[in-house]
Chains A and B, each alone.
Chain A
Amino acid sequence: MNVSISDSAAPSHPPEVPLAIDDLTVAYHEKPVLWDIDLDVPEGHLVGIVGPNGAGKSTLIKACLDLIPRASGRVSVYGKPYKKQRKRVGYVPQRESVDWDFPVSALDVVAMGTYGRIGWCRPVGRKHKKEAMEALDRVGLADYAHRQISQLSGGQQQRVFLARALVQDADLYFMDEPFAAVDASTERAIVTLLRELKARKKTCLVVHHDLATVAEYFDWLILLNLRVVKAGPVDEVFTNENLKATYGGTLNVLDEAGEKLRQLKGARE
């Protein structure tokens, strides 16, 4: 048996916690990228993961999904190890992570989200195609279903990825920079979709870059820089001191964000 000390010492998590991370450490070539992450994400929230470049935001997602080896730590999804809960987890990788010249249509890509349900060696049936079509419709791309994916714009490609995650019909979603380099209408479509998911009690973890929109898009926040600087409801966590602790000396970003924050708070009051 392969029970390490941290495994046995880790507390068990109730099944209503979508994501619980204990003691997670990840290292690339002995250089730590994530250090001692402890995190409990509550259900039904839109969670932003924010931090400077190289803070390990994508790494955190990939480590949760077993895509990269962990040096230590445990990740449980709804109270059980991730391996047993794959069907409840959806994943939206970074758009640049695949070759968009690949000879498949938008519908084909979305249908990949159903492969887990279809199982080995069986073809994609009519029922699954219909599900894929509905997901494409939800992201506003029904008319583009049979286009080859290289003929879509960047924003449309991102929406295809989202549709593929939707068709997985998961309860917990990991999204790696879905807002990176998309047009304004796609950004709005994604936000609408996220709110829909939240209304249906789904939990979304979203790697995000734009501090200006954090308070608008998310209601829960993880400030990350090699370790979790702070995690909690946006109102409590998204403060100047916390941002300073996360971003260190990069003052420009901070001043801008602080300005935005003041504006937002002013608008709310």
Chain B
Amino acid sequence: MRRWVWVALPLLWMAASAGPVHAPSGGEGTGVSLKEVFGVEWPGWRAFGEVVMLKKHNTRVVVLSTCWLGVSAGLVGSFLLLRKRSLMSDTLSHACLPGIGLAFLLATAAGMEGKSLPLLLLGATVSGTLGVGWVMAIRNTSRIKDDAAMGIVLSVFFGLGVVMLSLAQQVGGSAAGLESFIYGKTASIVDQDYAILKWVAVSVMGVALLLQKEFTLICFDEAFARSQGWPVHALDLMLLLLVTGVTVAGLQAVGLILIIAYMIIPAASARFWTHRSRVMLVLAAVIGGISGWLGASVSALIPGLPAGALIVLVSGTVFLFSMVFGSARGVLKQSLAHRRLRRKVGRQHLLRAVYELREEGRASRRDPVVNGPVAVEALLAKRSWTRTKLMRLIRRARREDLTEKVTPERLQLSESGFGEAARHTRNHRLWELYLIRFADVAPRHVDRDADRVEHVLGSDLVRKLEEELDEVRRERPLPESPHALGDPERGGA
């Protein structure tokens, strides 16, 4: 449950804050207005609300289209990302261009309306598929690798597309507007297009969810999938078909240059919030949907700003936010976890060093180890830490009430601190013993390895260790260090 709150809250925050920060209504007092800087008029809260809440019919069609598109692109993009074929969608979209030009030319030559959308999209599908097929052919028949093959096909097809478009412009004046497929033009979306888009999105989602198990399998371990008899090629083709569907459907709204962002950014953002592929799919769909919704809304509000670019900017913002704050792999979480671990390690080193000094200071080995003062100099000699670092550790230990009676020369642990030191030293030695008994490590080399692993040791494992080493438990509560204390190089004392 709590995990979902982690995921949902930032998204809500994004949704709430992606709107305008200042609404300069009567903004004389503030000095600079949006209009002066960017040459655009900020429409104000009410207009924004109307668009986002889908009050107007025209904007509703556009916003819902991009939203549906975002949902299905996020879903398919996740698989593409997991299959490590992200760039495939870029190749595909660029390879659509010659098809659009050719479809227009052929239709015009046949005396039909050149700019009929279904015809153009059909052309796009055919040439896009051809482009991807060519990539596969290059990869399978020569030693040229994926990335190079995609680069070749992408640029050649795009070049061909540009030639086709200029030819189309020379043939008939009605070709104007074809280039909107390059950057996208949401304003041209009408009810009919919306119906197509919705249908594409729903079927893409249906297939993606139905084949989720199979897609995940081939993304994770293709060889194993094939050994089990899954038709990996057919599944790849199916995935490609879904990508083609989303790409072609999205050409009009987002444009062929930016559609790759639509596929990848939501999926990559979602990965920062979860370690589970199913959650990632849902999240990517949600992020894609929200980006489409907000981007298209802003574009509808501010005339002249293209929706495709805005959508990408919104999802780019989500990505940045996810990268920093992501609850599974976000940079912040990772660095916090690292800092916590470092502190824990430092604190345990200090406690153990103090404990071992007290242990060494006993008159006889039979005496119990009791709390008492130790010299800072002796601590310094115990490990390879600098004086500054040791002092920092001691200061922190004092803040945590682990110590009492600290002077620059001596320190003494508090009762609770000493208890923790004894417990921790015991853990550490159990682990050392475990390594010696079960992992064939020479005792002399144990200490350093144990230092690293002990901080991962939970209480469960310790209990298990105790069971496995029950003779140790029978002997006495705290086993002696298996290697001589002090300088490990010096050997037995």
Residues on A close to B: CB < 8 A?
29, 62, 65-67, 83, 86, 89, 91, 93, 97-99, 102-105, 108-109, 112, 115-116, 118, 120-124, 143, 148, 164, 168, 174, 183-185
Contact = CB atoms under 8 A, between A and B. Distances in A.
Nearest to B276: A103
A125 B395 CA distance: 54
B193 to A, nearest CB: 30
A150 to B, nearest CB: 8
A93 B222 CA distance: 10
A124 B212 CA distance: 11
Given A102-B82, A185-B439, A112 B227 contact: no
B86 interface: no
B108 to A, nearest CB: 44
Contacts of B214: 115, 120-121
A268 to B, nearest CB: 22
Contact of A148 (B230, B275, B438, B460): B275
Interface residues of B, number: 29
8 contacts: A65-B223, A91-B227, A99-B84, A102-B82, A103-B280, A120-B214, A174-B227, A184-B438
Given A93-B224, A183-B439, A112 B271 contact: no
B275 A105 contact: yes
Contacts of A185: 438-439
A123 B213 contact: yes
B274 interface: yes
Contact of A89 (B211, B227, B274): B227
B220 A67 contact: no
Contacts of A183: 439
Nearest to A93: B223
A116 B216 contact: no
A115 B228 contact: yes
Contacts of A67: 223, 226-227
A109 B221 CA distance: 9
A112 B226 CA distance: 12
Given A103-B271, A103-B280, A184-B439, A118 B213 contact: yes
Interface in B194-224: 210-211, 213-214, 216-217, 219-221, 223-224
B414 interface: no
B440 interface: yes
A112 B217 contact: yes
Contacts of B211: 121
Contact of B224 (A29, A83, A91, A102): A91
B210 A97 contact: no
Contacts of B221: 93, 97-98, 112
Contacts of A122: 213
A99 B82 CA distance: 10
Contacts of A86: 227-229
B277 interface: yes
A65 B275 contact: no
Given A98-B220, A98-B221, A118-B213, A66 B439 contact: no
Nearest to A90: B227
A65 B226 contact: yes
A62 B227 CA distance: 9
Nearest to A122: B213
Nearest to A143: B460
Given A123-B213, A185-B438, A66 B226 contact: yes
Nearest to B460: A143
Interface string B221-253: 101101111100000000000000000000000
B229 A83 contact: yes
Contacts of A99: 84, 220
Contacts of B220: 98-99, 102, 104, 109, 112
Most buried by B among A66, A115, A164: A115
A115 B223 CA distance: 14
B440 A112 contact: no
Most buried by A among B214, B221, B440, B460: B221
Nearest to B434: A185
Nearest to A120: B214
Contacts of B223: 62, 65, 67, 91, 93, 97
B213 A124 contact: yes
A132 B192 CA distance: 48
A162 to B, nearest CB: 13
A101 to B, nearest CB: 9
A171 to B, nearest CB: 14
B151 to A, nearest CB: 23
A124 B438 CA distance: 37
Contacts of A105: 275-276
A185 B211 CA distance: 38
B207 to A, nearest CB: 10
Q: Nearest 10 A-B pairs (CB), nearest first? A: A148-B275, A91-B227, A86-B229, A116-B228, A65-B227, A103-B277, A184-B439, A184-B440, A98-B221, A121-B210
A108 B216 CA distance: 10
A104 B229 CA distance: 22
Contacts of A103: 82, 271, 274-277, 280
A259 B228 CA distance: 42
Contacts of B226: 65-67
Interface in B72-95: 82, 84
A143 B82 CA distance: 27
Contacts of A112: 217, 220-221, 224
Contacts of B280: 103
Most buried by A among B82, B214, B224, B276: B224
